[in-house]
Each structure stands twice: as C-alpha cells, then as structure tokens.
Amino acid sequence: MLKRLISTKLSVFFVCFLCCSYVLASENGAVFLENGGGAKAMAYGDAFGANTGEIWETLYNPAGIYGIKNAVLESMYQSIFIDTNYKSLAVAVPFQYGTFATHYYSAGVSNIPETQINSEGRPEATGELFSYISTALLISYATDFSTKKIFAGCTLKFIDQKLWDNSSSGYGMDIGIIWALDNSYRFGISAINILKPALKWNTFNESLDTAPLKIIGAFDYKSIDAKVRVRASIKKITNRPYTYHFGVGYRLIDELELRGGMNEGQSTFGLGISLGPVNFDYAVMASKYNEVGNLQRFSFGYQFSLPEKKMKTVLVPETIGTANTIPTKSVELNVDSVLTTNNNRQSLPISDRMYSPEEKKNEYPDGFTVLINQANAAFINEEYEKAIELLLQSLQFDDKRIRTYIALGASYLNLDQKDRAREYWDKTLTLDPGNESIKKRVAKYFKINTAPDYYQQGYVYFNDRNYEKAIGEYKKAIAIDPKFELAYLWLGNSYKMLGQSDEARKSWTKGGKTIEEESDRFYEHGYVCFIQQDYKSAIDSYLRAIELNPASIKAYVWLGNMYIRLDQKEHAVDIWSKALKLAPDNEELQFKLSLYLSNK
C-alpha cells in the first residue's frame, strides 16, 4: 500500500514537472528534452557541447555530430521509477558535405490513476487511468569550416505532447559552433531553442508553452594517447540560474573506458564497452529525490561500415622503404592514397605504409600509434594540415623516424608549400642518405640554384660514393656562400675518401668539424636503425662510420652486434678480431670473442 501511494505521488509530481504549463502559459515547454543524451553523456556529468564525432551532441551542440566516420545507430533507455520512462533512438550518417543525423526522443508516465474531489473535499480514485507522453524528432546537420578547425551545425526539432485527451505541438531550432584548437583541445558554444518552440495546448484556455533559450559553453580535452578525457560545461537557461557540469574518463584498455562526473552537484559514474562495431554504455547518477533513488541509464550502439569508394588501381614504385634500402618492386595501391600536386599524381603512397614491416614488430606507445593512424586517415582524406599537425606531435615520441619526415614533406608539397616540403625531405636524407626515392623527388620538384641546393646534391653524390661529383657540387655551394661551413666539411670528407689528405685538411680547417664527428653521425644513425630492428640498415651505417673513421672501435663493436642479430656469427667474429688488433686492451672485444669462439 505504501509503495503504491509513493508511486502515485511521484507520478503526479513528474507529470506536473513535465507539463507544468498544462493550465497556465509558461516558458518551460519541452522540459523533457533537458533530461540529456545517452548513458555516456550522463556518466560525464552531462558535460557535453564541445566534442566532435559524437551522436549525442544533437541535444547539446549540433556541430558535434561532425566527425562521425561511419553510419551509426544509438539507443538509450532510462526508467526513473514505476511506469516513468525515457527512450531515445538516433541515427547519423556522414557524407561528402558533412554529417546528417535524426534523433527520436520520448518521455512519458503511464497508468496514472484519475482522481476527483468527492463531496467531502477529498481526492478519490475513479478507477480510470491516463498517460502523459512527450515526443521529439530532431533533424541535425553539421559541416566544417577553416580546414577542419571550426565546425558548425544546426538542428530542427518537432515536438508533440499528449496529456489525456489534450495535446500540443510545435517546432524549434538549435545552432552551435565548435573550435578545434588542435587534436587535443576543443571549445564549443551553442544556443538551444534559438528559435523557441511554441507549444499550444488544445485546452479550453489554449495555453501556450514556449521552451526557454539555453546557452551552453563547453570544453573538451583528449590526451595524445587518447586514454584521458576531460569535459566541462556551463549552461544558462533564461529563467533559471547557471548550472555547472564536469566529467572525466579514463580508457583502461581499448575496449573499456571508466567515467565519472558532477551534474549540478550530483555525482555520476559509468563505463563504456566497445567490441568492434558494437558499444554499450551504462551510467548511474545520485538523485536529488530520496524516493526515486539513484538514476540509471543504458545505451546501446552499432557502427555500420559505409560502402567503400570505388578504387582505381595504378602501379607505382613502392617508395617508403626502411632506412637505407632501395625499393624496386611495384605494388597496387588505391589511387586515393597516392599524393597529388597540381593534379599531377606522384608516386608517394603512404596509405598503409606509415609503418615499415620492421616497425610493425615493435611495441610503440599507444599515443604514438594513435597519432600515426590518425595522420594516415587525415592524409587519405586530403586533410593535409591536420595530417601535418598530427605528424609533428608524433615526433615527441620518435624524432628520428624517417617515414614521419617523408609524410611531412609530402603533406606540405600537396599544400604547395615547397620550402617546408624541402626542409623535411632534406631531414630525411640526413637520417637516411641512401633513400633513392627522396633523392629523385627532390631533383624533380626543386630547382638547384642556391648554396644549400648544391650542398644537398653534393651530399647525395657523397653517399653514392661518387666523390668527384660531390666535390664539384660542394665547390659550387662555396662559390655562392664562402662562409658555408658544412660545405667545407663535406668537401674535405670527399677529398679524404679519394686519398687526398692535404686537400681534405685545408677544407676541414675552414669547415670547423672533423671527419671523426661525421663518422659518429653514421654511428648514431646505426643505433637508430638497431632500435627499429632494421639490422641490415644498421650494418650499412656502421660500415660507413668505419669507412670515414677506421679507428672507431665502437662502430666495430656494434657492427659485430648486428651480425649476431642476423645469426652471422662468422662475420661478427671477423669484425671483432680486426677491431681487437686496433685496440688490443679492449675488454669488451676480448669478452665477446672469447664467448663466441668458445661456442663454435
């Protein structure tokens, strides 16, 4: 009996709350839409309004649906207490000019007992039941401006309410903007009910409800490794005080995210589970009303794979190889993954070649992997500025990764910023002197007419062991810029390789560095290749280090180490034996030789 009494009281309370203007006109129409989005939004303390790629943003900031990659279906269910339910179903589909979404939302209380005032002035149940049902259909569209930095969206909504035999309906509009400062920070502002829905009841006094204007300012942060998410928002409804919302999420593993927050002072908790295209979200929030208890919400979603673009097939050289390799075979690629400049297709595919075969064996930090994958996707979508931003961020994990510099140069070239492209491709050749693809590309796209151009061409000849031509290029560079110290240095190195020690010494005196220092550069590059498990390229670098400085014992040691990695013990023993003749007291060489000779 007590339970039924409480249920009846609460039912009446919520009907009054949901349709408080049934008798009198008010500015609290369509209040059921303020219940918010799915379980994910609830777990984050309802702090939505600045996130992109999120279907539930239709209720907070319509610009947020931009960035959804595949067609997505989301549903939500919440039962507040007996016979009081919130339900929602949303669908979003991206297309060439933005993202389109529809969202159906309903709230209602059923089985409400009818009461009348009896002759004694007391309420008395008649035995009849009635219901209150509110529904809304939202149609949203979002697109981007300013090269994926600013996103804008709008929502048209159609609202219908029914109470007993009476009803009201109307329409309204929301607008919103989101600014992406970079890949981590986003700010949003939206005006909900910028066109206020006017809901006219077909009652005896034809009372009119209008939904109040609501302004939402929001902030969204995502860590580089995508593990931490922080959200905050402030809301102002014209006839109510400010409300504050905060939420944080932490992704334990790719499939599981834990969430928590504060919604107008009420604590919220939840989790999200993703299994392939399927996702499940759960949230719980402490209620302000003891009779109701904690509020729980469930959401279920599914992502559909959109039909792939029809692909053309073109044969191009496979150019993004590992360090110091010269790829020769041809491969079939999606034509969309091949860079283009001024409508001339160039053979620099990076679609699925952001990682070399050797790199795929490595355990990279999650943040690095996320950045490279996002850069790859941005590049394929011709979002070159976004790709550049992501690639530059990835350098904090590995600033000697050759493929990153190749992709940076390619992205700048597609933006017609040739100076920046040349800068990063020159960096590629510094790290990987034997990269034939980049040599050809530099020669094709850049005219050689400055001192740095001649210097770079001389460097290419030097690494091809064509020292006579290298000398000619370095001299041209010096003729243009007599203070070009690096040109003097490598001019001396070229003379040294030809056995012309006197000429080499003269050049080094002006260059300010020794050939031993350049030998160390190749030694360091060899170590980078070792870290990347590219042992053959490491061997090539250590051989070049020894060629420049035959007294470099450390280069001999690591050269032998690489042969051991390739299970070529005889070569390793031979190298260490030669080194031991140069440094008979070197204990490391003695130990290595005794160890491997004893195991023969």
How far does CA 54 lie from the centroid of its chain?
14
- pLDDT for the residue numbered 148: 64
Residue 222 confidence (pLDDT) above 80: yes
DSSP state of 306: P
| Structural domain harbouring 506 | 448-512
- The total domain count for the chain is 4
Q: Are residues 336 and 285 in the same domain?
A: no
CATH number (domain holding residue 99): 2.40.160.60
- The percentage of the chain sitting over the pLDDT mark of 90, rounded to a whole number, equals 23
CATH number (domain holding residue 590): 1.25.40.10
- pLDDT for the residue numbered 365: 64
Q: What token pair was written down for 468?
A: 């006579």
Q: Are residues 420 and 346 in the same domain?
A: yes
- pLDDT for the residue numbered 337: 35
Q: Are residues 13 and 132 in the same domain?
A: yes
Q: Are residues 251 and 365 in the same domain?
A: no
Q: What token pair was written down for 168?
A: 């009201």
Average pLDDT estimate for 116-145? 82
- pLDDT for the residue numbered 305: 67
In sequence order, what are the beta bridge partners of 229? 222, 249
- pLDDT for the residue numbered 311: 34
233 vs 463: which has the higher pLDDT: 233
What tens digit of pLDDT does each residue of 68-110 get?
888 999 999 887 765 678 889 999 999 878 899 999 998 887 7
What tens digit of pLDDT does each residue of 492-537 get?
878 878 888 778 777 766 655 566 666 777 787 777 677 767 788 7
Q: Are residues 488 and 538 in the same domain?
A: no
Give domain status of residue 152, yes or no. yes
Residue type, 548: L
Q: Are residues 36 and 133 in the same domain?
A: yes
Give domain status of residue 226, yes or no. yes
Residue 235 confidence (pLDDT) above 90: yes
Q: Average pLDDT over the chain, rounded to whole?
A: 77
- pLDDT for the residue numbered 44: 96
What tens digit of pLDDT does each residue of 266-301 get?
999 999 998 878 999 999 998 766 556 688 999 999
Report residue 247's pLDDT band, with 50, 70 and 90 as the boundaries.
very high
Average pLDDT estimate for 304-324? 38
| Domain boundary pick from 462, 487, 512 | 512
Nearest to 497 by CA among 521, 515, 477: 515
568 vs 321: which has the higher pLDDT: 568
Give domain status of residue 134, yes or no. yes
- Report CA torsion sign: 369, 372, 377, 380: negative
Residue 160 confidence (pLDDT) above 70: yes
Q: Are residues 470 and 495 in the same domain?
A: yes
Q: Are residues 79 and 166 in the same domain?
A: yes
| Domain boundary pick from 495, 512, 529 | 512
- pLDDT for the residue numbered 125: 75
Q: Are residues 168 and 251 in the same domain?
A: yes
Q: Are residues 211 and 272 in the same domain?
A: yes
Residue 313 confidence (pLDDT) above 80: no
Give domain status of residue 333, yes or no. yes
Report the range of poorest mean pLDDT among 18-27, 160-169, 177-186, 188-197.
18-27
585 vs 337: which has the higher pLDDT: 585
Residue 545 confidence (pLDDT) above 90: no
Q: Are residues 439 and 476 in the same domain?
A: no
Q: What token pair was written down for 467?
A: 């020292």
Give domain status of residue 37, yes or no. yes
Give domain status of residue 247, yes or no. yes
| Domain boundary pick from 512, 537, 564 | 512
Listing DSSP states for 74-103 in one string gives EEEEEEEETTEEEEEEEEEEEETTEEEEEE
Residue 339 confidence (pLDDT) above 70: no
Give domain status of residue 546, yes or no. yes
- pLDDT for the residue numbered 362: 53
What tens digit of pLDDT does each residue of 34-77 get?
888 899 999 999 999 999 889 999 999 999 999 888 899 999 98
Nearest to 52 by CA among 99, 90, 91: 99
Average pLDDT estimate for 174-203? 89
Give domain status of residue 119, yes or no. no
Longest dimension (CA), the chain: 124
Q: Are residues 147 and 133 in the same domain?
A: yes
